[in-house]
Each structure stands twice: as C-alpha cells, then as structure tokens.
Homo-oligomer: A and B are copies of this chain.
Amino acid sequence: MSEQLQQTETVERWGRFEFRAKGPENGNPYADVQFSARFSYKHRVVEVDGFYDGDGQYCIRFMPESLGEWSFETVSNISGLNGLKGSLNCTEPSQGNRGPVRVDNVYHFAYADGTPYFPVGTTCYVWNHQGEELEAQTLKSLSEAPFNKIRMCVFPKHYDYNHNEPETYPFAGSLDKGWDFTRFSPAFWSHLERRIDDLQKLDIEVDLILFHPYDRWGFAQMSAEADDSYLRYLLARLSSFRNVWWSLANEYDLMYEKKMQDWDRFFHIVQAHDPYQHLRSIHNWHNPERHYRSNQHWYDHGKPWVTHVSIQHPDLNFVPEWREQFKKPVVIDECRYEGNLNHGWGNITAEQMVECFWKGMAQGGYVTHGETFVHPEDIIWWSHGGKLHGESPARIRFLLDIMAEGPQLGKTAINFKWDAAAGGIDGEYYLVYFGSSRPAFRLLELPEGIRFDIDLIDTWEMTITPFEDTFEGKCRVPLPGKPYQALRIRKAD
C-alpha cells in the first residue's frame, strides 16, 4: 500500500518538519508499533524514527539539512501506518537560523552555516520542572543574559534545595504506584519541547542531560531495556530540534548502577538514532580530595563517538593539557558556581567565576557559568532558574564580545609564562590574561618584523584601553599592577 497523503510542505533549512498519522490506540502503542520514515533527497536517504504521541497520533519529525525537494515514505509494522508518502520543499533559513552547532577547526564550534560559535553556557538543571510562572521568569532572565548554551536535565532532580515534585513525568504511572517505563507521558514531552523551542528563540543551545544521579523517582535506576527505550523515544521526539546537544549524563560516575559499557551503549544508541549527529558528550563528578591530580574517573573523551570534552574541574590551568590530550573542543561545563552556598562547589566570588571564564577561553577552551546564592524561597539559578543575582554575567558578556571579534584561539608558540593564560594565532592575534596575578609590567617576546597593536583590558571593570605605541619583538608593556588584567595583541594594519 502506498498513498500520497498531503501537499508538499515548505520547511526552512534546519527547521522542523512534522508528519502525523492516526494509528492504533489499543495495546501499548509505544512498545508495539514500529513507525519510521525514509526521507530521500537526490541520491541520499535519511532514516528517521517516529514516535507515538498519545491519542492515536503517530508522528515523524525531520530537520532537513539540504535545500530543495525531499520526499519521504513511512515504514511500520501496522499496515495503516506503512508506506505513507509525502514531500517537502526545503527553503533558505530565515534570519537568525544558522543551523545546529558542529565541531569546527578541531577545538572549536561553528553553526552549520559556518558562523563561529563561542559557547558561554549557564546551568539551570531543572528550570523546566518549576511551573509556568518561574519558567517564564527564567526565560526573561535568559533573554537579558549573555548565555548562548544551557545545561538542563530531562528528568527532575532530587537534591539539597530540590524537593518539589515536577508537574509532569516522562513516564506513565506515579511515584506512589510505580512507573510503566514502557509508556511515555506525551504532556511531559511536549512541555520539554516547548521549552527547547523557547530557548531556540533566544539563540540558546540546549545541552540536554539525558541521565543524572540526583533522583528519588527511580529514573536513575531503570533497567537496560527501559533506558534504551527511553533514549529511543527521546531521540525520535527531539533530534529534529536544531539547538539540542546530547549530554549523556551529569556526574555520570555517581550513577553507580551504570557500568562503562552502559554508557558506551547509550552513546551508540544516540549515534545510531539521531539522524543529524548533534553534539554528544558526557560529564563527570569532581571531588577535589580524590580527583585533583587524576582524571582516571572520567569517561574516555577520546572515544570516537564523543564530539567534545565536557568537564567538571575547578582548575582552568589544565585546558591546554586537555586540548592536547583529546584533540577535541574542551568545555568546562562546571568549575564551581558564583554564590554563597554551604557547598564548596557553590560559593565562589564573581571575580573567581570570571577568572575561570577568561582562563579557559584565553587558552582555547570554553566555560559554563552557574549561580548558587542562598535564597529565601530556595530558588537558586543553578537548579531552578528564576533571576540572576550575581556580578559575573555582565563580565561574561564583555568577554564573549571580545571573543566574537577575534579568531578561534589556539596554542601559541610564544610562552607567556607562569602566571598568564594565553592563546592566539601566531603572528596575528594573542589574548593574554593575568588573572589574580598583578604584574606591574610584562616583557613580551613578540615575533620580529611584525608591528602589533595592544589593548589593555580590565576584565573586571570591563574597559579596553589601547596603547598608543605599537609593539614588536622583545618589548616591555606597562601594566597597572592590579588583578584581572588582560592584553589583546593584534597585528597592526
């Protein structure tokens, strides 16, 4: 059986096409019905999993990556859902749609349209489980903040300050009566999708955390079958959202029930069932007493299915080492949070948070923000979203603007010594950050035969002051002898 069901629909490049069909509601449609589609473009075929959306609705979502005519045909073990055909016309992307983010230039990122992307992320683990009012406030805060990536969880969170129940759950059932991990709860998923779209409108990439250990519902201790079925359902629903990244876990090594081969299997499932190959990584726990010298507890980011390194570590001095080790983009997705909590990971000053960003980014890595201030109603940005109270976001925006004006930073042949975090493009551009050190001057060994303009950047006061002179070769640059200064050194025209 084969049938042309609809008129050709128009979808912009990296937009989302959705095809729906009615099918059986009896039995367990989530488990019993197989439903997918083959999208064809010239000689190319893309296989796309569909999903059951409740109420007899079967759905296929597709993100076209090539301009022009696409056709598709469904595949199902249910005859009424099998062989359904259609087509779509993929048009130029609208303004602001630059496509999904990809790895670029080994250590960096760019949108699919080639625009470099410098991630400055933030962390609101379960902002999407806080109800309409607070979620709206979070979106408003994000609209005013510099962040272009957010780390957030699919599952709700159980932890200090996190004791409320979410409004919906991913699975059918309840905490009291137990969950049916073979049936999903479409209301939960459509809410999550709405939030991902809300973030897309704010140009924010969603670093979606698929598993995490902070759990009282049993979602961290599901069977392998339930884990895999959950991943397949999630991938079928969400892969077509251009702003998603897959973070397989937060602090994966605290999920003691999972073995390394489970994480390998999850990566394989994600790799096999995301037709668009969104960015994939996994995030570790860090306890300074155990982990300072050794990262042996990390998942091996060298494995080929890991697209970039997602690290928790408080010391950004290691960024060059990790770049060398993995030859992939390095994102420090947690390096302690600006705030004043009891918890040591959540009570650094804004100065330290900004120092982490500069140290990481000047050396060609990327850094993620978080904020953890004690709050009378326990609404803490790191988990719940809400309002930002700290002093670091304005400085992070200042840094992002500087990064976006310059090249992607690599290791330079110049040794800027001991106290400086530095990167650049040799002979062209250098960014040199002194952090809390406070030299009164610096002897530089710039290349001979090239004149450089130098700006003194006060990263805390957010000022950029060009030196009148140009500099070349061995030279001495006066500095104010106070913390948080940087130099931007650019080849003079």
Residues of A within 8 A of B (CB): 287-289, 292-293, 317-318, 340-345, 347-349, 352, 374, 415, 417-420, 436-443, 481, 483
The answer to whether A440 and B374 have CB atoms under 8 Å apart is: yes
Q: With A348-B437, A349-B483, A483-B349 given, is the CB distance from A317 to B340 under 8 Å?
A: no
Other-chain contact of A418, B345, B418, B420 (Cβ < 8 Å): B345
User: How long is the Cα–Cα vector from A420 to B418 in the complex, in angstroms?
Assistant: 26
A-B contacts, 13 of them at CB < 8 A, read: A287-B418, A288-B317, A288-B418, A341-B440, A342-B439, A343-B418, A344-B437, A344-B439, A345-B419, A347-B437, A347-B438, A352-B436, A374-B441
Number of copies of this kind of chain in the complex: 2
CB of A344 within 8 A of CB of B438, answer no
Q: Given the complex of chains A and B, what is the CA–CA distance between A354 and B288 in angstroms?
A: 21
Residue among A344, A349, A440 with the most chain B CB within 10 A? A344
Q: In the complex where A342-B441, A374-B441, A443-B342 touch, is A347 in contact with B288 (Cβ < 8 A)?
A: no
Cβ-defined contact, A439 with B341, below 8 A: yes
A182 to chain B minimum Cβ distance, whole angstroms, is 40
- With the chains together, A493 CA to B317 CA distance in Å? 46
Contacts of A419 on B, CB cut-off 8 Å? 344-345, 347
A370 CB to nearest chain B CB (Å): 14
User: Given the complex of chains A and B, what is the CA–CA distance between A123 and B19 in angstroms?
Assistant: 75
In angstroms, Cα B289 to Cα A436, docked, is: 18
Shortest Cβ distance from residue A422 to the other chain B in the assembled complex, whole angstroms = 12
Taking a contact as CB atoms under 8 Å apart, the answer to whether B317 and A347 are in contact is: no
* CB pair B344 A418 closer than 8 Å: yes
A347–B419 Cα distance when bound, in Å, is 8
Tell which of A317, A318, A437 has the most Cβ of chain B within 10 Å.
A437
The residues of B that contact A342 with a CB separation of less than 8 Å are: 439-443
Q: Within 8 Å CB of A374, what residues of B?
A: 440-441, 481
**Closest residue on chain B to residue A476 by CB atoms:** B342
A349/B438 in contact, CB under 8 A = yes
6 tightest A-B contacts by CB? A344-B418, A344-B419, A340-B440, A340-B481, A347-B439, A347-B437
Q: Which of A341, A342, A415, A439 has the most CB of B within 10 A?
A: A342
Contact of A292 among B317, B347, B441 (CB under 8 A): B317
Nearest-Cβ distance from residue A160 to partner chain B, whole angstroms: 10
CB A330 to nearest CB in B, in angstroms, measures 16
* Minimal beta-carbon separation of A316 from chain B (angstroms): 12
By a CB distance below 8 angstroms, the chain B residues around A436 are 348-349, 352
CB distance from A453 to the nearest CB of B (A): 21
Neighbouring B residues of A343 by C-beta, 8 Å = 417-418, 439
User: For the complex, what is the distance from the CA of A348 to the CA of B344, rounded to whole Å?
Assistant: 23
In the bound assembly, the distance between CA atoms of A341 and B289 in angstroms comes to 32
Bound together, the chains give a CA A341 to CA B420 distance in angstroms of: 13
| CB-nearest residue of chain B to A434 | B347
Cα separation A344 to B479 with both chains bound (whole Å): 14
Interface residue from B293, B340, B418, B443 paired with A439 (Cβ < 8 Å): B340
Which residues of B lie under 8 Å from residue A340 when comparing CB positions?
438-440, 481
Given A349-B483, A440-B374, A417 contacting B341 (CB threshold 8 A): no
* A420 to B293 CA separation, bound complex (whole angstroms): 18
**Residues on the B chain within 8 Å of A345, using CB:** 418-419
Contacting residues, chain B, for A349 (C-beta < 8 A): 436, 438, 483
CA distance A374 to B438 in the complex (A): 11
Within the complex, the shortest CB–CB distance from A413 to chain B, in Å, comes to: 14
A48 to chain B, nearest CB (A): 45
- Beyond the given A347-B419, A348-B438, A349-B436, please list 16 additional residue pairs across the A-B interface where CB-CB is below 8 A: A287-B418, A289-B415, A340-B438, A340-B439, A340-B440, A342-B440, A342-B441, A343-B417, A344-B418, A344-B420, A344-B437, A347-B440, A352-B436, A374-B440, A374-B441, A374-B481
Q: Smallest CB-CB separation from A440: which chain B residue?
A: B340
Q: Once bound together, how far apart are the Cα atoms of A391 and B43, in whole Å?
A: 73
Chain B hits for A418, CB < 8 A: 287-288, 343-345
Q: Given the complex of chains A and B, what is the CA–CA distance between A483 and B349 in angstroms?
A: 8
CA distance A129 to B370 in the complex (A): 52
Q: Is the CB of A417 within 8 A of B344?
A: yes
* Chain B nearest Cβ from A293, distance in angstroms: 5
Chain B residue nearest in CB terms to A419: B344
Across the interface, which residues of B come within 8 angstroms of A347, CB to CB?
Answer: 419, 437-440
Q: Which of chain B's residues have a CB closer than 8 A to the CB of A483?
A: 349
Report the separation of the CA atoms of residues A349 and B417 in the bound assembly, to the nearest whole angstrom. 18
Contacts of A438 in B (CB 8 A): 340, 347-349
Give A345's nearest chain B residue, CB to CB: B418
